[in-house]
Amino acid sequence: QVQLEESGGGLAQPGGALRLSCATSGFTFGHYAMSWARQARGKGLEWVAGIQYDGSDKYYQDSVKGRFTISRDNAKNTLYLQMSSLKPEDTAVYYCAKALDSTVILTRSAYDYWGQGTQVTVSS
């Protein structure tokens, strides 16, 4: 059965860094695009970054460009999100999601499995 498990969230100071991981199992990880999305309290789901099945194409939301880096290790079946220069507005629950296909499409209907989420809080 497909499983996605995020880790690495926590409390960071403004300007700080965190690295999120999403360990996966139950499917051929290297065949599918993956994405990170986040949801702040009281707000809707927001796409953060996406990566093609082989890592050759990446997408970033404008607000995180230059600060966040999405990557994947297909040998370890793991997705990563390196976050730096964190801001209080980055505070949210971060989810990893498995796409239905190999390319990045940022609509909810294009994803069939989601992790349980990991809380990221940016505060001094």
Taking the chain (124 residues) in runs of 10, the rounded mean pLDDT of each run is 97 98 98 97 95 95 97 98 98 97 89 97 96
User: Can you spell out the DSSP letters for 85-122?
Assistant: S--GGG-EEEEEEEESSSS---SGGGEEEE---EEEEE
pLDDT of residue 105: 86
